[in-house]
Structure 1
C-alpha cells in the first residue's frame, strides 16, 4: 500500500492547497496530534461557533495498517477544504473548531454507538445503533468507500476506543465548552456546522440548490435563526433549501438545544461552487463563497447580539423564483 513513505498520510500533502506548512510532520502514533483544532479569539467572544468536522485529512499509521484500500481512495469520504472557506473566523473573533483526522478514521458527525457489528471483534459487548447510515457503510467508523469495503480485518475494542477517546469525544467536548461559555457571556449560542455536498445530489444543473440548511425540522435552532440564515443567503444570490436532503446529523442533534439558549444549524454547501470535486482543490469560486459565508455569520451574530433570535423572523423557503447563483469566477 502506498502511504507516501511516511508514518501517516494526509491527503493533499503533496498537492497544491494541501495541509499548511508545519502541519504535515507526523511522528510515531504516540506523538499524534489532538483530534481537533480550536481557534478562539482573545480580544472578543462572539456568540457564534463555527465547526468543520469533515475537513480533516490525517490518516495515522495505526489506521492505515487496518485497511485494504489505498489512502488516496479514502479522500472521497471527506468534505474537502471547507475549513479554508472559514478563514475569516479568527480575524472576526469567531471561534472555529475543525477536525484533524480524515472522516475515514472516525466520523465526528455520528453517535458513538453507530457502529457496524461485523466490523468489531466483540460486537456482543456493545449496545450498537445500526442505523440506516451504518448499514450504508457510513457509521461512526465508515466501512465502505466507492462501493468497496475499507477494512481488511475486524477492529479490536482498543482500536475503536482510541478513536473515540482521542478524536471523537474531545471534539464534542470542545463544542460543549464553547457553547457554555457563549451562554454565560451572551445568554445564547449558535453553532454553525459547515459541510459540503456532492453537486449531483443538489438537483438538475439549471435549478441546483447551492446550500441546504438543516435544523432537524425546527428542533435544533431557534426559528428566527434558521429563517434569517435562509434570507441572508438568498439575498446573496444563493438557492437555498431547508432540511432536504440534509436535516442535520449528530452534531446538530447533540449540540442544538434552543430551549436552553444553545442553537445548532447545519449548512451543506454545493461542492462545485468552491472546489474541484475530483481533486478537492479550491477553485476560483471559493473566494466568493467565503465572502458569502462571512456575511451570513456576521448577520447571524447581529441577530444573536440583538437578542431577537426567538422573535420568529419569517422568511419563506422555496417561494417565487430563485435568485441567480453566486458567480464562481
Structure 2
C-alpha cells in the first residue's frame, strides 16, 4: 500500500519575513478513497486535471523563493482541488456553488457530473478543508507574532481561453491578473505587483478572477494582514492545457521574487 499523500506543507522561510506564498491548486494528487467517489476515470479524469490544475505553480513559488533576498514562507497544497478547494467558502456565501464548484466540486470545468452531492461532502470538509484552513491561519498568526504583519500572496494560473465553469469568463484575460480585496490589498502592495510583472505584456485587475485569500479569522477585521492574488495566464509559461513548463516559468519566478523583495518596507 502506498503511503497517504501529504495534504499540505508549510515550507519555512526567513524568521523576519512576513510573506506567505500560498499555492493551493498546483497538485494533481487524489487519495484512493476520494477517487472512489469521483465518477470520472482514466483519460476523462486526466483531461479534467489538465484543465483544473494550476500546473507548475508550486515550482514557480519555489523558484522565486530560491532567489529572494529574504526567503518567504510557502504554504503548498499537496492534494488536487478535486479533493476539496481550500479557497472556497464552505457555505452558501460561495457563488461557485451555482456551477457545482463550491468547496467540494460536484461538476467538472465543462459542467459534467464529477461526484454525487450528499453527505460525503461533509466528511471531505472535516478531513481536508478545515485542517487546511486551520494550519494556514496558524501560519499567518506566526508571521504576525514574528513580524507584526503578514502578506499572503496567492500563486495561481488560468487558461488562455475561458472554460465553461467560469462565471466571469467574458472579461479581459491579461497576461497577469491581480486579484484584490478592498480591505486587505493596500495600494502599495498592488503598485509593487504591477511594477514587478510589468514586463509580461500588462497586468489587469480582478478579471477573469477576483479577490484573494485571507483566513476567516482575519478577514475584514485585521489590517495587519494584507493579501494579493497572482493569476498567470498559462500560455506565458507552459503548453496548455496540462503540458510541460517552458522558459517563461523562470522569468515569472524572477518577477515574483522581485515582488517579494519589494515588500520589506511595505
Query: TM tier, shorter chain?
Result: 0.7 to 0.9
Post-superposition CA distance 1:42-87 (Å, at most 9, x none):
x533110001101121111111111221231330222112111111
| 2:109 equivalent to 1:137 | no
The 1-side partners of 2:254 and 2:104 are apart by: 33
Counterpart position of 2:196? 232
**Alignment-derived partner of residue 212 in structure 1:** 177
Q: Using CA pairs below 8 Å that are at least 6 residues apart, which structure has the higher relative contact order?
A: 2
Cα distance in 1 between the residues matched to 2:38 and 2:22 = 28
Secondary structure at the aligned position of 2:142 is classed as helix
Report matched runs for 1:91-102 at 5 Å.
Answer: 92=68, 93-102=71-80
Which residue of 56, 69, 83 maps to 2:58?
83
- The answer to whether structure 1 residue 38 and structure 2 residue 2 are counterparts is no
Q: How does 1:99-118 map to 2 (within 5 A)?
A: 99-113=77-91
- Determine if contact 2:175/2:200 at 8 Å carries over to the other structure: no
Match of 1:296 in 2: 259
Alpha carbons of 1:238 and 1:191: their partners in 2 closer, same or farther (altered >3 Å)?
farther
1:245 aligns with 2:208: yes
Runs of 4+ in 1 over 6 A off after TM superposition: none
Matched pairs, number: 251
CA positional deviation for 1:220: 2.0
**2:238 equivalent among 275, 281, 304:** 275
Contact 1:221/1:258 (8 A) holds in 2: no
Give yes or no for contact 1:74–1:104 (8 Å, CA) kept in 2. Answer: no
Aligned-residue offset at 1:134: 0.7
* 1:220-257 deviation digits (Å, cap 9, x = unpaired): 222221222223322x34411112332215x2473555
Give the counterpart of 2:150 among 180, 189, 208.
Answer: 189
Q: Deviations over 1:83-130 (max 9, x none)?
A: 1111132564211011111111111111122xxxxxxxxxxxxxxx17
Q: Give the TM-score of the pair, scaled to structure 1.
A: 0.69
Secondary structure at 1:149 match in 2:
coil
Describe the SS at the equivalent of 1:199.
Answer: coil
TM-score (normalised: structure 2) = 0.84
1:60 is the counterpart of 2:31: yes
How far apart in 2 are the matches of 1:196 and 1:256?
23
Mark the runs of 5 or more structure 2 residues left unpaired by the alignment: 163-167
SS at structure 2 position matched to 1:59: coil
Residues 288/230 of structure 1: CA separation in 2 closer, same or farther (3 Å cut): same
Change (3 A) 1:184 1:227: same
1:212/1:181 Cα in 2 relative to 1: closer, same or farther (>3 Å)? same
